[in-house]
Structure formats: structure tokens, C-alpha cells
Structure 1
Amino acid sequence: MLIGLCVLALSILIACYEIPRLLKQGCRKEVWIYCILMLLGNVLATLKGMAKQIPNPADWITFLMVPLTKILLQLGLIKL
């Protein structure tokens, strides 16, 4: 829990520096993207700090691509 709070505090300090600078430049979309990515990074860093198992992104890609590949093979759109 302490690790999560430390990560959150550090992220807030970084955001206090970055977000006003982006807003001053008129980059509103970039602020939203920054906040979303920062939130995702906070969640992953907190889970990693609490020694939780984080799934490998390659496993998710494989899970999605295997059925798609089978369908494309059956349709004859790709060949091995």
C-alpha cells in the first residue's frame, strides 16, 4: 500500500509540472492522453510493487491472433 501511495505522489508531482506546460501550449488532447497513460502506469507500477502477477501483453496478442489466423486460413486469404 505504501508503494502505491509513493508512486501516486511521484506521479502527481510530475503531472503538476507537465500538465500546465501542455495546457499553455494548447495541447488539450495530449493532456488527456498523458493522464490516461499516467493512470495506466500508476496501476501497473502499484501492482508490480505489491508483487502481484501482471500478465504478459504477448499472451493477449496470441489469444486474439490465433482465432483470427484460423479464420483467415479457412477463408483462403492467407497461406502458411
Structure 2
Amino acid sequence: MLSQIVKIIGIFLVAAVISLIEVPDMWKKGFKKELWLFFILLFFAVGISCAKVLHWLIPTPLDWITAIYRPFSNFLIHMGLIK
């Protein structure tokens, strides 16, 4: 449990360092929209990293693609068009 907390703190520290390096330059150049995107992507990256540290089950994009195409595939199998 303690090692997980240390890893999560490490993730937040790395995210803070990345922000300290990237944000001032983007702010000076007036990249407001890019800053929003940067923080959204950083938020997702930190969230996924913390979820991996906590051993949460994270679905892959392939799971979503399979869920979408499975009914169509079953229909084609039922029609006899594929085996």
C-alpha cells in the first residue's frame, strides 16, 4: 500500500515537472488553446498511470472496437456470409 502511494506521488511530481517545463513557454507565446489540450491530456495520462499503479482494469481500445463490431459480425455469421 505504501509503495503504491509513493508511486502515485511520483506520478504527480513528474506531471508537475513537465508542467513547469512546458507551460511558461506556451503561456508566453499565447498558446491558450494548446494549454487547454495539454492539461486535458496530462490529466488523462496521470489518471491512467494512477489506475495502472492501483491495478485497476483498464479496457483497451480493441475491447471497444470488438463491442461495436460483434453484433454486425454475428449478423453476417447468421446470414451465412462468413464462417
For normalisation by structure 1, the TM-score amounts to 0.74
Is residue 54 from structure 1 mapped to residue 58 from structure 2 by the alignment? yes
Cα pair distance change 1:65/1:32, threshold 3 Å: farther
CA shift, 1:66, in A, is 4.6
Runs of 4+ residues deviating >6 angstroms: none
Q: Which one scores higher on RCO, CA 8 angstroms, separation ≥ 6?
A: 1
Aligned length: 72
State the Cα RMSD in Å: 2.1
Identity of aligned residues (%): 28
The structural deviation recorded for 1:57 is 1.4
> Pairwise mapping of residues 25-40 of structure 1 onto structure 2 (< 5 A)?
25-40=29-44
Where does structure 2 lack aligned partners over 5 or more consecutive residues?
77-81
Instruction: Please give the secondary structure, in 2, of the residue aligned with 1:51.
Output: coil
Q: TM-score, normalised by structure 2?
A: 0.72
User: Which structure has the greater CA radius of gyration?
Assistant: 2
